[in-house]
């Protein structure tokens, strides 16, 4: 059914004259959104019974109706209308935004054109529907390569705009720390087979911090493979010949510099889409409960020791980790437009959903805490957050120190040594072997003769699905 200008005016007058305020919270996104028009959050409501937990909504969703029927010519003609743009991120009576409804209803080139036009109007693909799924995940479930490509390109442009907003709080937290140089030794050890640790990977990592900048050196690349690499967080200068990026990877083996925040190129986007389509979208909800108890010897005294020149006390940590997995299932839409908009109730909170699968594990380990260490654990978390952007092991270490565990460690302590069992006979050990306060001299050393190489070539992302998955979670 084609709608003319008179229908548009009648629809807008009816909306302005009959709607009453209703606060419908939008799911929060982990990063700041683009400067979009403020979503319109006013609806007509027909209350259900007093005991009902939902409300039947009956607004005039003009943009939703255009997306439902796929009237792209009408949508193109009214794309600059401010009243239409105000509905770009509005949730309808079934919990769908115009973008998610278009993806559910259409396929092929028509869907690609609709998605591109809605993003131009101001639709936010990060906006989640009532069940907690965003537009990228809905398009993934349908295997729509064209829509996925358009959404990924939008997300990359959004990240370029928001780059300053993302790094500003991290730089502020780093500036509050004193300048230091630290050496971290990580290794694998076994209590049952002591000689086993000699044949397993180990590394001595070096960390420099100066102002709001970091440099981290590591030599471990894979089992049986070592490469000298440096991760550098810096403040780009206008006349700097290096890439204008805050996060660089320096490969001392190949004598090259690459930009870790470089947008995905066409080949990488195609590879990421090929990684997404075979799998159904899945969300995780993680809840942790941590306990920290001092270790005592046979005489009942706390176990203490001297590590890296700092007095420490040994504590036993137990983390009860519960992970809920939610798998996407497409909603059943009515066959007719009128049935879709006249019936249906606003779905419940996505946090109240029953998970498709639950996993529960108990993680036990040991911490050696020092109250005399110059840096405290809460102030050191931004450093782990930066290192986790380039290395998966530090991303896991950052998630290990949950808010509950940091609260138990205390505001005046720092874990100088960490011992976490990985298997019945194998455990991972990370120890601070050297720490010096003061301005380090090697923090800014980037060889001038190192050329810049594209990240796709430097990190070989096309041949590594794990690296592409890490980039997708970080860049998108």
Asked whether residue 199 falls in the same domain as residue 322, the answer is yes
pLDDT given at position 57: 35
> Can you tell me the mean pLDDT for 233-260?
86
| Calpha distance 325→188 (Å, rounded) | 30
Asked whether residue 135 falls in the same domain as residue 63, the answer is yes
Asked whether residue 232 falls in the same domain as residue 313, the answer is yes
In a domain, 220, yes or no: yes
| Calpha distance 468→270 (Å, rounded) | 11
> Can you tell me the mean pLDDT for 279-290?
89
Is 330:274 a contact under the CB 8 Å cutoff? Answer: no
| Calpha distance 224→205 (Å, rounded) | 17
pLDDT given at position 344: 64
Across the chain, mean pLDDT equals: 81
CA-CA distances (angstroms) from residue 475 to 239, 400, 446, 467?
A: 26, 22, 25, 12
Dihedral sign from CA coordinates of 165, 168, 170, 172: negative
Asked whether residue 225 falls in the same domain as residue 326, the answer is yes
Number of CB atoms found within 10 A of residue 175's CB:
11
Token pair 């590590």 is found at 307
| Calpha distance 332→334 (Å, rounded) | 7
Q: Is the pLDDT of residue 222 over 80?
A: no
- Token reading at 128: 């989640």
Asked whether residue 153 falls in the same domain as residue 193, the answer is no
108 CB-contact burial (10 Å; exposed 0-12 / middle 13-18 / buried 19+): exposed
Instruction: Name residues whose C-beta falls within 8 Å of residue 410's C-beta, 6 or more positions apart in sequence.
Output: 369
Q: Is the pLDDT of residue 333 over 50?
A: yes
In a domain, 408, yes or no: yes
Q: Model confidence over 392-422: pLDDT tens digits?
A: 778 888 888 888 899 999 888 999 999 988 7
Q: Model confidence over 157-200: pLDDT tens digits?
A: 998 888 777 788 888 889 999 999 999 998 888 777 777 777 78
Model confidence band, residue 352 (pLDDT cutoffs 50, 70, 90): low
315 CB-contact burial (10 Å; exposed 0-12 / middle 13-18 / buried 19+): buried
Number of CB atoms found within 10 A of residue 48's CB:
12
* Domain extent at residue 13: 5-159
pLDDT given at position 192: 76
The region that residue 431 occupies, defined by phi over 0 for left and psi between -120 and 50 for alpha, beta otherwise, is: beta
pLDDT given at position 313: 95
To 10 degrees, the CA torsion angle through 1, 64, 7, 112? -60
Instruction: Name residues whose C-beta falls within 8 Å of residue 116's C-beta, 6 or more positions apart in sequence.
Output: 150
Computed on alpha carbons and rounded to an integer, the radius of gyration of the chain in Å comes to: 27
| Calpha distance 216→390 (Å, rounded) | 10
Asked whether residue 51 falls in the same domain as residue 122, the answer is yes
pLDDT given at position 134: 93
DSSP 388-455: HTT-HHHHHHHHHS-HHHHHHH-TT-EEEEEEEEEETTEEEEEEEEEEEES--SSTT---TTPPB--H
Is 26:100 a contact under the CB 8 Å cutoff? Answer: no
Q: Model confidence over 355-390: pLDDT tens digits?
A: 888 999 888 899 999 999 999 999 999 898 888 877
Asked whether residue 141 falls in the same domain as residue 204, the answer is no
| Calpha distance 186→202 (Å, rounded) | 6
Q: At 89, which CATH number?
A: 1.25.40.20
In a domain, 263, yes or no: no
Is 206:198 a contact under the CB 8 Å cutoff? Answer: no
In a domain, 231, yes or no: yes
Q: Model confidence over 41-100: pLDDT tens digits?
A: 322 323 333 333 333 333 468 899 999 999 999 999 888 888 889 899 999 888 899 999
In a domain, 151, yes or no: yes
> Can you tell me the mean pLDDT for 107-124?
95
Instruction: Name residues whose C-beta falls within 8 Å of residue 460's C-beta, 6 or more positions apart in sequence.
Output: 467
To 10 degrees, the CA torsion angle through 64, 67, 73, 76? 60
In a domain, 76, yes or no: yes
Asked whether residue 123 falls in the same domain as residue 206, the answer is no
pLDDT given at position 245: 86
pLDDT given at position 442: 56
To 10 degrees, the CA torsion angle through 233, 286, 149, 330? -170
Token pair 């991760």 is found at 231
| Calpha distance 258→436 (Å, rounded) | 29
Q: At 397, which CATH number?
A: 2.50.20
Asked whether residue 202 falls in the same domain as residue 336, the answer is yes
Q: Using H for helix, E for strand and C for coil, what is the string for 231-257?
A: EEECCCCCCCCCCCCCEEEEECCCCEE
pLDDT given at position 345: 62
The domain boundary, picked from 126, 159, 192, lies at: 159
pLDDT given at position 183: 95
pLDDT given at position 84: 87
pLDDT given at position 301: 93
The domain boundary, picked from 108, 129, 159, lies at: 159
In a domain, 395, yes or no: yes
Dihedral sign from CA coordinates of 348, 354, 358, 363: positive
Model confidence band, residue 31 (pLDDT cutoffs 50, 70, 90): very low
Asked whether residue 330 falls in the same domain as residue 429, the answer is yes
In a domain, 461, yes or no: no
Measured in degrees and rounded to the nearest 5, phi and psi for residue 420 equal -125, 120
> Can you tell me the mean pLDDT for 101-125?
95
Asked whether residue 221 falls in the same domain as residue 76, the answer is no
Domain count, the chain: 2
Dihedral sign from CA coordinates of 294, 385, 151, 121: positive
Asked whether residue 146 falls in the same domain as residue 217, the answer is no
pLDDT given at position 445: 65
């Amino acid at each position: 059914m084609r709608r003319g200008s008179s229908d548009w005016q009648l629809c807008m007058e009816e909306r302005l004259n009959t709607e009453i305020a209703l606060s419908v919270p939008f799911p929060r996104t982990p990063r700041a959104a683009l400067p979009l028009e403020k979503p319109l959050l006013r609806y007509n409501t027909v209350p259900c019974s007093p005991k009902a937990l939902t409300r039947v909504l009956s607004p005039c969703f003009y943009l939703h109706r255009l997306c439902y029927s796929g009237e792209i010519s009408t949508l193109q003609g009214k794309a600059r209308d401010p009243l239409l743009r105000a509905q770009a991120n509005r949730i309808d009576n079934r919990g769908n935004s115009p973008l998610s409804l278009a993806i559910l209803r259409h396929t092929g080139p028509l869907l690609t054109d609709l998605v591109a036009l809605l993003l131009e109007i101001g639709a936010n693909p990060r906006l989640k529907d009532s069940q907690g799924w965003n537009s990228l995940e809905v398009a993934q479930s349908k295997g729509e390569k064209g829509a996925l490509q358009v959404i990924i390109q939008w997300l990359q442009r959004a990240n370029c705009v928001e780059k300053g907003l993302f790094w500003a709080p991290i730089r502020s937290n780093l500036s509050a720390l004193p300048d230091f140089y630290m050496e971290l030794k990580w290794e694998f050890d076994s209590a049952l087979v002591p000689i086993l640790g000699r044949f397993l990977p180990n590394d001595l990592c070096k960390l420099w911090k100066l102002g709001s900048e970091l440099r981290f050196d590591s030599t471990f690349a894979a089992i049986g493979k070592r490469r000298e690499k440096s991760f550098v967080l810096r403040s780009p200068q206008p006349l700097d010949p290096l890439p204008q990026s805050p996060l660089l990877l320096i490969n001392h083996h190949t004598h090259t510099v690459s930009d870790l925040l470089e947008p995905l190129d066409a080949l990488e986007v195609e590879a990421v889409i090929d990684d997404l389509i075979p799998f159904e979208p899945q969300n995780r909800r993680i809840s942790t409960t941590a306990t920290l108890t001092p270790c005592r010897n046979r005489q009942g005294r706390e176990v203490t020791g001297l590590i890296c020149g700092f007095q420490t006390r040994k504590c036993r940590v137990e983390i009860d980790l519960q992970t809920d997995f939610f798998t996407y299932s497409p909603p059943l839409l009515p066959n007719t437009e009128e049935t879709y908009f006249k019936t249906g109730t606003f779905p419940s909170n996505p946090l109240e959903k029953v998970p498709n699968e639950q996993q529960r594990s108990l993680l036990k380990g040991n911490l050696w805490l020092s109250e005399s260490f110059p840096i405290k654990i809460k102030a050191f978390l931004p450093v782990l957050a930066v290192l986790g952007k380039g290395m998966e092991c530090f991303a896991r270490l950052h998630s290990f120190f949950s808010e509950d565990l940091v609260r138990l460690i205390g505001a005046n302590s720092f874990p100088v040594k960490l011992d976490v069992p990985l298997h019945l006979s194998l455990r991972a050990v990370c120890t601070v072997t050297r720490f010096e306060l003061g301005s380090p001299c090697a923090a800014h050393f980037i060889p001038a003769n190192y050329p810049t190489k594209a990240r796709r070539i430097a990190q070989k992302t096309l041949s590594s699905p794990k690296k592409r998955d890490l980039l997708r979670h970080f860049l998108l």
